[in-house]
């Protein structure tokens, strides 16, 4: 098991939720699945230049779900280690969003590699 397995599982959880079926959302969820597999393997993932914005949106949606729905429940139940993991996951997702959108705005023509910080112990 990788140190990134919990984060990868979170990305897969979000990707597998019902999302209404439009093509753009389906692509975003597939990008989350790809990122999860790569993260679990080595703590980083690479995004094609054409997918920077969609991947950023997918990670922003992940952070929003965690922050609005999962984190309050975790806090309410007093699970300190789970709370730390979820807060870290939100931060890691938003760091990815920032990098991906910055590269997209700069007109990146090459793939961008996102290295995720080490998760809490």
Please report whether residue 121 resides in a domain.
no
**Which DSSP category does 113 fall into?**
E
d(CA 45, CA 20): 26
Q: How many CB atoms lie within 10 A of CB 16?
A: 11
Indicate yes or no: pTM above 0.85.
Answer: yes
Please report whether residue 120 resides in a domain.
no
Number of domains making up the chain: 1
Backbone angles phi, psi at 119, to 5 degrees: -75, 165
Per-residue model confidence as pLDDT tens for the chain (121 residues): 889 999 999 999 999 988 777 899 999 999 999 999 999 999 999 999 999 999 999 999 999 999 999 999 999 999 999 999 999 999 999 999 999 999 999 999 999 999 999 998 7
Domain interval for residue 69: 5-115
Please report whether residue 104 resides in a domain.
yes
Please report whether residue 61 resides in a domain.
yes
């Amino acid at each position: 098991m990788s140190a990134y397995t919990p984060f990868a599982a979170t990305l897969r959880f979000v990707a597998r939720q019902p999302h209404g079926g439009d093509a753009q959302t389906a692509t975003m969820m597939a990008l989350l699945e790809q990122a999860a597999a790569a993260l679990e393997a080595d703590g980083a993932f690479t995004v094609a230049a054409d997918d920077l914005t969609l991947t950023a949106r997918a990670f922003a949606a992940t952070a929003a779900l965690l922050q609005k729905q999962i984190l309050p429940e975790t806090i309410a139940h007093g699970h300190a280690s789970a709370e730390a993991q979820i807060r870290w996951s939100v931060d890691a997702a938003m760091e990815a969003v920032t990098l991906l959108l910055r590269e997209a705005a700069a007109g990146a023509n090459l793939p961008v590699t996102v290295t995720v910080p080490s998760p809490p112990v």
